[in-house]
Amino acid sequence: MSPRLLLLRLLRRWHARIGFAAMLFFLMLAVTGLALNHGQALGLDGRAVHAGWLARWYGIKTEPPRRAFRSEHHVLIAANGRWLLDGRASGQTLPEPLGLIEFADNFAVASETALYLFREDGELIEKLERGALPGAPVQAIGSSVRGIVLRTASGVFTSADALSWRLLTQRSVLWSAPAELSAAQRQACEEALTPGVSVQQLLLDLHSGRFAGRYGPVFVDLLAVLLAVVSLTGAWLFLVPRLHRGRH
């Protein structure tokens, strides 16, 4: 057998071996690269993956939920900047709640800097911040016959619609207070309240190899070299027989 034929056979064998061995990794690089290239259109910025193992892998410190706010029809548990409202976890980062109350057919959750009004089915009616609040920071939320009651540093205010506020004179207010969660309840909602890792960040780390730690990028460098080898051997296997045929 001629040396040229031997070389071609050797190249074909290694081209196939490398291509097959690295197929999964090449596919992963292709898919993550494509997704990152169209991240904006796919809305990857605003999405996050919430999983306990992923948070631990990224070294994100997680706090187990400890307290719940309950009204007659609603329950709010919060931890790690996430809310579990009537069993539905929030996608976005939200502040530490101070309390939960029901008024008319709606309910409201207060944090130090904002008041969230929800319809009975959990749809957000409005988020009120500094300018729309009677005072800030909010210290507590309660309910009275007049509607929502907020205790702030500048006084206790009430409103029926959260549009206009007035100083509360009568003092019969039912203030929202947290209740401790049992160990079983904590465990039940811990996973749902795990902090998330942005999908875009996750794809970027998978693409660059940083997801696998300090040696990950080295592995991706090796894949890049292998991809170059596969490309060059592929070009050789395609061109050389044709050039050879052309000469005869």
Partner 1 sequence: MSWRARRALVLLTLALGATAAGWVRGEVYQEPDAFVAEIFGTKPAPKVLWLTKDIQAQAAAILGHPPVQLRQRYWSDAHKSVWILEEIGKEELITAGFVAADGRIDHVRVLVYRESRGGEVRYPTFLKQFKNSTLAHNNTLDRDIDGIAGATLSVGAMERMARLALFFDRMSRQ
Query: Which residues form the interface with partner 1 (CB under 8 A)?
Result: 40, 45-46, 119, 123-127, 130-132, 163-164
User: Which is closer to partner 1, CB of 112 or CB of 126?
Assistant: 126
**CB of residue 45 to partner 1, shortest distance in Å:** 5
CA dist., res. 116 & res. 175, Å (int): 16
User: Which is closer to partner 1, CB of 124 or CB of 153?
Assistant: 124
Alpha helix stretches (DSSP H) within the chain: 3-21, 23-37, 39-42, 52-57, 183-190, 199-208, 216-247
Closest CA to 31 of 247, 238, 206, 228: 206
What is the DSSP annotation of 91-123? Answer: SS--PPEEEEEEETTEEEEEESS-EEEE-TTS-
Q: Which residues pair with 68 in a beta bridge?
A: 77, 179
What is the DSSP annotation of 2-15? Answer: -HHHHHHHHHHHHH
User: Which is closer to partner 1, CB of 33 or CB of 46?
Assistant: 46
User: Which is closer to partner 1, CB of 163 or CB of 183?
Assistant: 163
**CB of residue 40 to partner 1, shortest distance in Å:** 7
User: Which is closer to partner 1, CB of 96 or CB of 191?
Assistant: 96
**CB of residue 153 to partner 1, shortest distance in Å:** 18
CB hemisphere CA count around 65 (13 angstroms) = 32
User: Which is closer to partner 1, CB of 190 or CB of 205?
Assistant: 205
**CB of residue 233 to partner 1, shortest distance in Å:** 41
**CB of residue 200 to partner 1, shortest distance in Å:** 9
**CB of residue 124 to partner 1, shortest distance in Å:** 5
Instruction: Provide the edge-to-edge strand list for the sheet that holds 115-118.
Output: 97-103, 106-111, 115-118, 124-128
